[in-house]
Amino acid sequence: MYIYMNGEVIRKEEARISPFDHGFLYGMGLFETFRVYNGHPFLLDDHLERLNRSLEAINIEGGYTREQVLEKLEMLLGKNGYHNAYIRMNVSAGNGEIGLQTDSYKNPNTIIFCKPLPPRSASAEKQAVMLEIPRNTPEGTERLKSHHYLNNILAKKEAGDDPSIEGIFLTRDGYLAEGITSNLFWIRDDCVFTPSLNTGILNGITRKFVIKLAGKLGLNVQEGMYRPEAVLGADEVFVTNSIQEIVPISSFDGHSMPGLSGKKTLEFQVHYENCCEHLWSRNEL
In a domain, 69, yes or no: yes
pLDDT, tens digit only, all 285 positions of the chain: 999 999 999 999 999 999 999 999 999 999 999 999 999 999 999 999 999 999 999 999 989 999 999 999 999 999 999 999 999 999 999 999 999 999 999 999 999 999 998 766 666 899 999 999 999 999 999 999 999 999 999 999 999 999 999 999 999 999 999 999 999 999 999 999 999 999 999 999 999 999 999 999 999 999 999 999 999 999 999 999 999 999 999 999 999 999 999 999 999 999 999 999 999 999 999
Domain residues for 149? 126-284
Residue 138 sits in the same domain as residue 264: yes
- 192 backbone dihedrals φ, ψ, rounded to 5°: -105, 130
- 23 backbone dihedrals φ, ψ, rounded to 5°: -65, -35
d(CA 121, CA 115): 17
Residue 97 sits in the same domain as residue 144: no
| CB contact at 8 A, 33 and 87 | yes
Residue 259 sits in the same domain as residue 228: yes
How many structural domains comprise the chain? 2
In a domain, 121, yes or no: no
Strand order of the sheet with strand 8-11?
A: 8-11, 2-5, 109-116, 85-92, 29-37, 40-41
CATH code at 45? Answer: 3.30.470.10
Q: Which residues pair with 279 in a beta bridge?
A: none
132 Cβ contact list (under 8 Å, min separation 6): 158
